[in-house]
Structure 1
């Protein structure tokens, strides 16, 4: 951001945009050897974080629509990282599970993504990095719908 106009250097939207772009670039570089994107890593994380989930359940947890979820799963299935299976409790729906290759990719890609995050946060002391993450969580997850 060395070419940022002084009038923008303190604007929150400008700073967040450029921070996100930098993190996305670092993450893309870290994930490239695994052939997945950051969004695909998010899908794998959500699928691994619960018992076998339906496509609809996974979409809800990710906050994406059904069509987007199907596209993600088609791509990940094409890479042999996930598999759709009939739900043993309800044969009208499918559950999505990680394949062994998907579990390995998830483990390795998560470690690479974590390293990219550490690189992104390197200008901050460890305590400041923790506070930064906590502050972003507070802002991003804040729900003022009750007020």
Structure 2
């Protein structure tokens, strides 16, 4: 039965999670992928676009498009990289920091609602197992 296949289960769990987290992020004008980029860029030392892409496991072209979109929303800014003038450093703007501070608790609450049918131990175990797989 296809409903027991791992691919089916992971895909549909992901779709269900997106149904919960998407609306939670709407008030902040970002989606889950953009939240991941903002979270990755929230570091003490500025990252280049390439470094951020590597940390997220996405290709350079996709990262450029995502940074362009976040820059248009005034959530990030590109600046010459302090360690290598040939690179751009990408940093959160004040608005980006504010958005991240507000969006993270909203998405965490949405994730808790998504996991509500599991016990606390089951939810922790699910996260642990998925972390090992990823």
- What's the TM-score, normalizing by structure 1? 0.86
Aligned-residue offset at 1:89: 2.6
Partner of 2:128: 134
Structure 1 residue 110 and structure 2 residue 104: aligned?
Answer: yes
**Any idea what SS the aligned residue of 1:122 has?**
coil
Partner of 2:46: 52
> 1:30-81: per-residue Cα shift (whole Å, max 9, x none)?
1011110100000001000451001111111111111111110110001010
Count of residues in Structure 1 that have an aligned counterpart in Structure 2? 134
Within 5 Å, give how 1:38-49 maps onto structure 2. Answer: 38-49=32-43
Distance of 1:49 and 1:13 partners within structure 2: 34
Distance of 1:8 and 1:54 partners within structure 2: 42
Structure 1 residue 67 and structure 2 residue 61: aligned?
Answer: yes
Structure 1 residue 92 and structure 2 residue 86: aligned?
Answer: yes
Structure label with greater radius of gyration: 1
Q: Which runs of 5+ in 2 are unaligned?
A: none
Structure with the bigger percentage of helix = 2
Structure 1 residue 78 and structure 2 residue 77: aligned?
Answer: no
Q: Which runs of 5+ in 1 are unaligned?
A: 1-6, 141-147
Aligned-residue offset at 1:25: 1.2
